[in-house]
């Protein structure tokens, strides 16, 4: 089977996210890294791309040059990953969708709800895939949690508790560091800092696992470091459209927390607990029974878990392999489109543009509620109300 061709914008030398994408895209041999505009400095991007094996004429100086260069090629890329600064996501994603390319965009997909609705409509009009990289939903045991909820193991879901809290921005003396300061500057980050950066990952995972979307929310947002305009800590109460209650905490000043993405789900027949820093164990407590530890890689957990577990039980799987599961989903969907086959969306779990739009609506809702002393507000984008 011929490899699909893959291109990347951003993710250059020294990037935090670029290597994870390149490892994930290449793991199964479904994609060939064929084109890229990897750096905001054109020559640095071209040079680094060629060091990674790109042909000189496909190591581009910027995304516009890449769009024009790939548009007319018979062997043009099948999928473009957008891993640039947040404020550029909308323009780049829109340009490639309009030109008929499939896109995987880093979160946040856009900076406004209106932009998000435009991308959703554009993806629907063009028939092209617009995925959003909520990559933590690619972990095998996260997929298994979703399967357990869907098949009724927990019964009706009562409560979901999500956290994404770290302490890496807790030093007030570091507040003027340019690498930190921009995140809390409305001119560069928009209406939210910590919730838009980490909280939407936690919210997406909660919705993904329980199969419900946030309907209403109430937020308490604070800047624990006084020089910051935007929040560095947020507590959000949620009501989901299927009746579940949600509690979400996200923070960047929680000293002692490293990554801090965790999820707990409580139903009428049992509870689940999973932590991204220990992703190979899932804790399952059936009502009235003993605590069970489910190990990633155990046989016959669920089709969703079995499909996405890649390494023998007892060996750790990490973030690049979770990303690889997103890329595997996309490869399957792109091949189906090329062959004219229709796929059941429920059978292919990559995060979609609609998920990116819901996240952006939640960002604005959290900002609105936080500024209004926690008033309950609608968490849904207008087009989904």
* 112 and 177 fall within a common domain: no
Residue 154 sits in a domain whose CATH number is 3.30.360.10
In a domain, 323, yes or no: no
Q: Is residue 338 part of a domain?
A: no
The answer to whether position 318 is within a domain reads no
CA 198 to chain centre: 10
Q: How far, in Å, CA of 225 to CA of 145, rounded?
A: 36
* In a shared domain, residues 285 and 270: yes
One domain, residues 229 and 175: yes
First to last CA, the chain: 43
Determine the pLDDT at residue 155.
Answer: 98
Q: For each of the chain's 385 residues, which pLDDT tens digit applies?
A: 799 999 999 999 999 899 999 999 999 999 999 999 999 999 999 999 999 999 999 999 999 999 999 999 999 999 999 999 999 999 999 999 999 999 999 999 999 999 999 999 999 999 999 999 999 999 999 999 999 999 999 999 999 999 999 999 999 998 788 888 888 999 889 999 999 999 999 999 999 999 999 999 999 999 999 999 999 999 999 999 999 999 999 999 999 999 999 999 999 999 999 999 999 999 999 999 999 999 999 988 999 999 999 899 999 899 999 999 999 999 999 999 999 888 877 778 999 999 999 999 999 999 999 999 999 999 999 999 9
**Domain identity same for 264 and 173:** yes
Query: 293 and 231, same structural domain?
Result: yes
Whether 252 and 270 map to the same domain: the answer is: yes
**Do 56 and 172 lie in a common domain?**
no
In this structure, is residue 25 part of a structural domain? Answer: yes
CATH number at 91 reads: 3.40.50.720
Residue partners of 276: CB distance under 8 A and separation at least 6 = 136, 139, 259, 261, 262
| Domain identity same for 246 and 171 | yes
Helix 89-98 crosses helix 63-71 at what angle (to 10 degrees)?
10
When divided into structural domains, the chain yields a total of: 2
Model pLDDT, residue 346:
73
pLDDT of residue 188: 85
Q: E strands within 269-316?
A: 270-275, 278-286, 292-295
Cα–Cα dist 194/39, whole Å: 25
- Same structural domain, 112 and 184: no
List, in order, residues 6 or more apart from 270 with CB less than 8 Å away: 153, 154, 155, 284, 285, 286, 287
* Whether residue 31 is found in the same domain as residue 89: yes
Task: Supply the range of the domain harboring residue 221.
Answer: 139-310+356-378
Residue 270 lies in a domain: yes
Domain co-membership, 109 together with 221: no
In a domain, 384, yes or no: no
Helix runs in 151-199, H state only: 178-181, 186-189, 194
Cross-strand bridge partners of residue 274: 263
Q: Are residues 81 and 230 in the same domain?
A: no
Give domain status of residue 332, yes or no: no
Tell me the C-alpha distance between 237 and 162, whole Å.
10
Q: Is 328 among the domain residues?
A: no
Tokens at 174, concatenated: 């570091």
């Amino acid at each position: 089977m011929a490899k699909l061709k893959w291109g990347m914008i951003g993710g250059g030398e020294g990037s935090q996210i670029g290597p994870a994408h390149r490892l994930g895209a290449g793991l199964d041999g479904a994609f060939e890294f064929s084109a890229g505009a990897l750096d905001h400095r054109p020559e640095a991007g071209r040079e680094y791309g060629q060091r990674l094996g790109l042909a000189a004429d496909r190591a581009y100086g910027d995304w516009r040059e890449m769009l024009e260069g790939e548009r007319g090629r018979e062997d043009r890329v099948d999928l473009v990953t957008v891993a640039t600064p947040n404020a550029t996501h909308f323009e780049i994603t829109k340009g490639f969708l309009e030109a008929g390319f499939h896109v995987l965009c880093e979160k946040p997909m856009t900076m406004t709800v209106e932009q998000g609705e435009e991308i959703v409509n554009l993806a629907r009009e063009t028939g092209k895939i617009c995925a959003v990289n909520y990559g933590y939903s690619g972990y095998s045991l996260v997929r298994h949690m979703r399967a357990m909820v869907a098949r009724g193991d927990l019964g009706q879901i009562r409560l979901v508790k999500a956290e994404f809290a770290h302490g890496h921005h807790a030093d007030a003396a570091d507040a003027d560091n340019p690498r930190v300061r921009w995140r809390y500057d409305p001119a560069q980050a928009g209406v939210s800092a910590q919730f838009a950066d980490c909280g939407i990952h936690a919210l997406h995972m909660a919705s993904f696992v329980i199969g419900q979307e946030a309907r209403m929310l109430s937020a308490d947002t604070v800047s624990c470091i006084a020089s910051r305009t935007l929040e560095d800590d947020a507590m959000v109460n949620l009501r989901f459209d299927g009746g579940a209650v949600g509690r979400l905490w996200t923070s960047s000043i929680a000293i002692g927390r490293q990554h801090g993405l965790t999820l707990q789900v409580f139903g009428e027949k049992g509870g689940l607990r999973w932590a991204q820093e220990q992703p190979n164990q899932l804790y399952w407590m059936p009502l009235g029974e003993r605590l069970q530890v489910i190990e990633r890689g155990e046989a016959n957990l669920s089709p969703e878990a079995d499909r996405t577990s890649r390494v023998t039980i007892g060996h750790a799987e990490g973030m690049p392999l979770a990303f690889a599961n997103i890329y595997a989903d996309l490869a399957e969907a792109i091949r189906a489109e090329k062959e004219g086959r229709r796929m059941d969306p429920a059978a292919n779990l990559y995060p979609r543009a609609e998920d990116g739009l819901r996240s952006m609506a939640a960002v604005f809702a959290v900002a609105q509620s936080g500024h209004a002393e926690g008033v309950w507000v609608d968490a849904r984008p207008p087009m989904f109300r």
